[in-house]
Amino acid sequence: MADDLSLQGRTTILSLPKNRTPAIEVEDLNLWYGKFQALHEVDLVIKSGIVTALIGPSGCGKSTLLRSCNRINERLGYVTTTGSIKVLGHDIYGDDASQIQVRRNVGMVFQRPNPLPLSIRDNVLFGHRLHAERRANRSDEDAMVEQALREVLLWDRVKDRLQHKATGLSLEEQQKLCIARLLPTKPTVLLMDEPCSALDPEATSAVEDLIWDLRGHYSILIVTHNMAQARRASDECVFMLMGRVVEHTATERMFVSPQKQETSDYIEGRFG
Amino acid sequence: MSAPRNPSTNPSTDPGADPGTDREAHANDATAGHQIFAATAREGASLRRQQAIRGLFLLTTLLLVLPVLAILGKLAIEGGPALTWEFFTEEPRNGMKDGGIFPALIGTIWLTAGALGVAVPLGVAAAIYLSEYASDNWLTRTINLAIVNLAGVPSIVHALFGVGAFVHFMAFGTSILAASCTLAVMTLPVVIVSTRESLQAVPRAFREACWSLGATRWQTIWRVVLPNSGSGILTGVILVVSRAVGETAPIMFTGAAFFVPFLPQSVFDQTMALSLHLYNVSTQVNLDDQHKHLPFAVALTLILVVLAMNALAIWFRMKLRGRKKW
């Protein structure tokens, strides 16, 4: 843990240095799937080094917003975007921005764990090998694997079977591996699209603990359907509705004294 | 139903009556020996019809198997005894009547290998483009339509196309090369369709995992998509082999000959081929009773080669499938 952080438990607020560049700045973002407008004039500043949760009912655009942040939406040919998204102050949709470097810096974890059908070791090294000029030597690779797996609290469980297929792991381990896989390319932002929705309660809690552990090292943006999870495992909360951001405050504040009527209606379960 | 009803439970006369009595009456019905779930007469009839229809379909299916068994049986009985070591390793002699089929076997191997060499790289590349790169526009749709139509072109038309395109226009002459190219054009749709299908069977989650790590399209294809669709592609390839082995029309004008006294030395030579040899010994050669088994033996060889190829395809599929886990 870096010196400028003090982290003792979930209730603690991270004390991060002031005036850090925001992790993500979204300005006037509009997005269309064909003719359907999924995001309307989204303005949002995601602070660096904390966990921010995106909540809202199905179809409100939270996953779309998340997927815009590493340009993975572009694989769908019919998406049009206006406005800008800056990561660490740099426009990721700018002419000089490469999609590949954006994705390398902004890692993504999906709803269903999606390890590749390779060994655990090869999964962890996959991203790094894509970008390395030439293959690192074996001991460097070993060190990288160990460090990544230690960071996701998986090392002790899998260190003796690094050559086994990753698809044979439990779902919880698979999801942790998917997070570990992002780390060797040294990302700054981690996007997570309902990372626990395929997991049982125990595994969910383990992955949440891990997310909380990674806080401070990475800026984390997490989409969740699970209100309790947002409350437990985020510093700030963004509530979205019909493609717009309705409210963005500290998590505690949002759940205790929401400012907007729609927010309190949603949080109290009156719709969604 | 015949259980006596208590008049006091009739709702029209006594709406406030205890409903429990009514329920009791029904309970009595069941316990009185009436099986309430017994089949009605109507149901019995429909059950019998059901069985009759089932029997009909079974019969149809068995009828389908019959020709296969008949063909294999007839060939095995008539041609089987002629399949000797000499039959496979000797040249035909005495106006095709004696000797073996060695040059035809070798020629078929040349032709098939040539067809594969052309069809597989082209077909796999086209399938990768169509599955991984092409967006859904008029061009892609036109190409797909062309592929479907190519698959439906009769083989004799392919043969004449081959004469025009490869023998004359490309000036390959009547040669193994021209015949292989013709076979390749004919089998391309199979390669493309089977490859495209196996590429598309690779789960989207794998691609997303790659993209989210910053892989380019080609890196995704090379490192994840192709290694996981190998079994499907291979099966397609082997099916092409069995098709190419059996075709006669496309090769008879473009590169295969009635009799060639030497084995092919290069792709510019003409050659004999099993399928054409079968056609020749059945129709072009006067066989006396002593040599009557000859066409059967050649046909049996041809069928065995095709069956072996198909078996190989199935085996590969099972072997590679077993490795997959997702």
A181: closest chain B residue by CA: B213
Strand partners, A109: A192
What is the pTM assigned to this prediction?
0.75
Strands (E), A36-105: 36-46, 51-55, 79-87, 90-91
What pLDDT is attached to residue B33?
65
What pLDDT is attached to residue B3?
45
Strands ordered across the beta sheet of A79-87: A36-46, A24-33, A79-87, A90-91
Task: Please give the residue that has the higher pLDDT: either B71 or B286.
Answer: B71
Average of per-residue pLDDT across B95-120: 83
Task: Please give the residue that has the higher pLDDT: either B7 or B237.
Answer: B237
Task: Please give the residue that has the higher pLDDT: either B318 or B146.
Answer: B146
**What are the contacts of B73-79 at 24+ separation with CB within 8 A?**
B74/B296, B75/B296, B75/B299, B75/B300, B75/B303, B76/B300, B78/B292, B78/B293, B78/B296, B78/B297, B79/B293, B79/B295, B79/B296, B79/B297, B79/B298, B79/B299, B79/B300, B79/B301
Average of per-residue pLDDT across B140-145: 89
Per CATH, the number for B85-323 is 1.10.3720.10
Per CATH, the number for A24-267 is 3.40.50.300
Mutation target for A interface from B212, B224, B226, B323: give the one with most A CBs within 10 A.
Answer: B212
Which chain A residues touch B223 with a CB distance below 8 Å?
Answer: 126, 130
Q: How many CA atoms lie within 13 A of A183 on its CB side?
A: 21
Q: Is the pLDDT of residue B12 over 60?
A: no
A177: closest chain B residue by CA: B209
Average of per-residue pLDDT across A87-106: 86
Pairing between β-strand A51-55 and β-strand A79-87 as defined by DSSP bridges: unpaired
Residues B206, A117: C-beta atoms closer than 8 Å: yes
Tens digits of residue pLDDT in B259-316:
777 777 877 777 888 888 888 888 877 777 777 888 888 888 888 888 887 888 788 7
Domain boundaries, chain A: 24-267
Cα dist. A190→A181, A210, A233, B49, B213 in Å?
A: 12, 13, 15, 63, 11
Q: Is the pLDDT of residue A186 over 90?
A: no
Tens digits of residue pLDDT in A6-48:
333 454 555 565 567 888 999 999 998 888 999 999 999 998 8
Q: Is the pLDDT of residue B9 over 50?
A: no
What pLDDT is attached to residue B323?
60
B136: closest chain A residue by CA: A77
Give how far A107 is from chain B: nearest CA, Å. 6
B158 with B249: CB under 8 angstroms?
Answer: yes
Task: Please give the residue that has the higher pLDDT: either A26 or A75.
Answer: A26
B215: closest chain A residue by CA: A130
Average of per-residue pLDDT across A229-249: 90
Give how far A243 is from chain B: nearest CA, Å. 23
Give chain A's length. Answer: 272
Which chain B residues touch A126 with a CB distance below 8 Å?
Answer: 210, 213, 223
Note whether B223 contacts A: Cβ–Cβ < 8 A.
Answer: yes
Q: Is the pLDDT of residue A4 over 60?
A: no
Which of B212, B219, B326 shows the shortest C-beta gap to A167?
B326
Note whether A267 contacts B: Cβ–Cβ < 8 A.
Answer: no
A107 with B213: CB under 8 angstroms?
Answer: yes
Q: Is the pLDDT of residue B7 over 50?
A: no
Tens digits of residue pLDDT in A198-231:
888 888 988 899 998 888 889 999 999 888 888 8
Pairing between β-strand A36-46 and β-strand B92-93 as defined by DSSP bridges: unpaired
Q: Is the pLDDT of residue A133 over 80?
A: no
What pLDDT is attached to residue A51?
92
What pLDDT is attached to residue A53?
92
Q: Is the pLDDT of residue B325 over 70?
A: no
Note whether B139 contacts A: Cβ–Cβ < 8 A.
Answer: no
What pLDDT is attached to residue A17?
59
Nearest-Å Rg of the Cα atoms of chain A is 19
Give how far B125 is from chain A: nearest CA, Å. 21
Going by pLDDT thresholds of 50, 70 and 90, the confidence category of residue B14 is: very low
Which chain A residues touch B205 with a CB distance below 8 Å?
Answer: 110, 112, 114
Tell me the residues of chain A between 119 and 148 that have a Cβ less than 8 Å away from chain B: 126-127, 130-131
Give chain B's length. Answer: 326
- Give the list of residues 6+ apart from residue A142 with CB closer than 8 angstroms, or none: none
Average of per-residue pLDDT across B76-90: 82
Average of per-residue pLDDT across B177-202: 89
Note whether B214 contacts A: Cβ–Cβ < 8 A.
Answer: yes
Q: Is the pLDDT of residue A152 over 50?
A: yes
How many whole angstroms separate alpha carbon A52 and alpha carbon B216? 29
Q: Is the pLDDT of residue B319 over 80?
A: no
Q: pLDDT over 90 for what percent of chain A? A: 20
Which chain A residues touch B136 with a CB distance below 8 Å?
Answer: 77
